[in-house]
Structure 1
């Protein structure tokens, strides 16, 4: 039902003429600033007020602090007023945005990631920023490779600020109590550890049945989704079958089975000893389990070293009344000062490669992820992302939860591939 609603609303957005038509002339640099100032002056002349730029985001107090650090001084610099729109979660945000764009109530700028971004780019809901900013505003030559996913056919669809490779989290008190030695480097070692760590009250591994976590195992076995071109492959099947086997062996637990919302809660409550996750675990555990002894390492390899990396990014919706100002503000939020503030507040490495060395020197707990920055990739979900992720979750749930289903990973992938046709 969710996919039908999103699809219908996207069609309405396009029919309403809200798909972005970027000017042919590049207005970046000084010319772009002058254009933004001209828009502000025109708006003030008509309404007697400064333009209002709405910023949409999800997250808690720490995330808000990071966004506010990025926007610090923007109102004065661009002579506008910034209003904040907070969504309770990303699903609500994505479901509401199309209708808000039609109604004229959507934010101008939205903080997103590179997970389901292609669906919104292909439906022309994100503005191409290249006519409004130049290298002086934001230098894409400085970003790590994974952040270049926002450059498509020489068009800029977002301004990355930070992001980190996926990680693997281990409860060290449980690990040591089980008499285990070195932390796992391979999925075979994870399996052995999961068996040793499972007790009457604790499972060795948490398996969150969503696309992010499933993709880490797929990548670790040399697979990937290939924007929908490589769904049903032996490598992908090997990654999913690994999880099915661990669950059926009784050494893994899912968040829903624990009555909780996500893997971080399962881990914080001591109901599992290991889980895939990310650097956001530092903030989660500081709040939920401040005394926990844990380690963050890179995702162990199956047949290869592989994982994804988030790219936290600010985009401008194509429905904005003020593309020049909004684009400039996005670029402003990607300045060095703002990226360093995000790193300090939220814990994610900056998007600029030359800022990362200082970050890792100061965040030694995350330093184990440095090698992963060399091979981590974007998520490469199909453009019809919601359709794909719903199908993947549903099929994986059948394989794990439906007694006697006998479903294999090959069955899951075949069914998902069929759903995408």
Structure 2
């Protein structure tokens, strides 16, 4: 599911601009009792997905049109953040649109989302961690349509050929530091040196954020400024240096591949942490690679993972408030969320839909689903993307030893805060 992976790294590209006036006030008021939408048109703002996503969304739209009598027009954005913000400023935003949970603070701060009546959307059926991520001051502004979490993927063929039992895999990151060199040595004997590596890692903060916040670490201050060089955050993230120093851990780019799924699918990686979006990709594009899924390692004695979600929000300036509510209700009800999950490989954000889709009967996907209880949402204010870019620029210096971790993160803070101040 490369499209989702790509979007996770986009974040909020523009600085905060005032859209409150440009929006033209709140959505039209109504009692929500309208049922006949014949002749009405609803516009939906989405980004382009893969073939399975397009097919699943089009089917839900077709069923919705048949049920309510309205016409639905999709507005597909190629540069989502930039284009949808421009439409909001120009009062041409779609009636309902995708809200990435990492972007939600920006939308909330700029007042472009209409408040949703939680009683209309069966919110008690959803995983509370997700609905909390789309809530401000106790008010709901988007309904999560799906979610994804990180888990470990293990190439079982590599373990079989090296005669290493999967049960030997450490349960904590700290234990990996001592275990990885031994595993890599066995891999080299079977495959040859430099052909296959024990583990992969990613430079994005969206993968490492759950490590950075252990024991109260705060990568971003309350005022939005970067705090990567703080003692706690540096100490937390130093495990990445310990892991890369084993020479058994590489990035996908290090081995000539574009992303984790490709690196793992080509048989060059034994262990990777990845979202459930990769599950169907491995099944369809790399069917010769046998794998199993395990929960993420603990760190500093606690469980952790990352959680990503996208919700449906309603534009504050919509003239089709009732119809937009109807769409969000329809798209996120038990039946359609189940169909969406089965069709796209995402995880349902409703517990009853997860049961209906039989996610718990799939041992691999169940690992991802169970992570909702302890995973950290990829969300931290409106400067998250700016801090992440600086983090990615300077993390390599910390990992290759050209600078200390503290020095590298100090430079990352300086870059991020300069960019934040400039905006």
TM bracket, shorter-chain basis: 0.7 to 0.9
Q: Residue in 2 aligned with 1:316?
A: 314
Q: Answer yes or no: is the 8 Å Cα contact 2:149–2:372 preserved in 1.
A: yes
Q: By how many angstroms is 1:60 displaced?
A: 0.3
Of the three residues 144, 164, 167, the one matched with 2:148 is 164
Structure-1-length-normalised TM-score: 0.81
Alpha-carbon distance in 1 for matches of 2:284, 2:297: 27
Match among 99, 106, 118 for residue 119 of structure 1? 106
Would you say 1:51 and 2:41 are equivalent positions? yes
Counterparts in 2 of 1:74 and 1:3: CA distance versus 1, 3 Å: closer
Q: How does 1:5-404 map to 2 (within 5 A)?
A: 6-7=14-15, 10-11=16-17, 13-14=19-20, 17-18=22-23, 21=26, 27=30, 31-34=31-34, 37=36, 50-88=40-78, 92-130=79-117, 134-135=118-119, 137-148=120-131, 149-181=133-165, 182=167, 183-195=169-181, 196-197=183-184, 199-218=193-212, 221-222=214-215, 225=218, 228-229=221-222, 234-303=231-300, 304-358=302-356, 359-369=358-368, 371-400=370-399
CA distance in 1, matches of 2:48, 2:404: 36
Q: In angstroms, what is the RMSD of aligned CA positions?
A: 3.0
Separation (CA, whole Å) in 2 of partners of 1:209 and 1:247: 12
Q: Is the 8 A contact 2:27 2:317 kept in 1?
A: no
Residues 5, 162 of structure 1: CA spacing in aligned structure 2 closer, same or farther, 3 A cutoff? closer
Contact 2:11–2:103 (CA under 8 A) maintained in structure 1: no
Q: CA deviation at 1:268?
A: 1.5
Gaps of 5+ in 1: 45-49
**Superposed displacement of residue 357, structure 1:** 4.0
Measure how far apart 1:189 and its partner are: 3.8
Structure 2: which 5+ residue stretches go unaligned?
A: 1-9, 188-192
Offset of 1:337 from its aligned partner?
0.2
Within 2, Cα distance between the matches of 1:76 and 1:343?
A: 21
Displacement, 1:174?
Answer: 1.3
What SS class does the counterpart of residue 376 from structure 2 fall into? Answer: coil
Q: How far apart are the structure 1 equivalents of 2:156 and 2:102? A: 30
Query: How many pairs are equivalent?
Result: 391
**In the TM superposition, what whole-angstrom CA distance separates every residue of 1:300-350 from its partner, at most 9, and x where no partner exists?**
101111122222311223354423322321122110001111222223332
After superposition, the Cα gap between the structure-2 partners of 1:238 and 1:4, relative to the gap in structure 1 and judged at 3 Å, is: closer
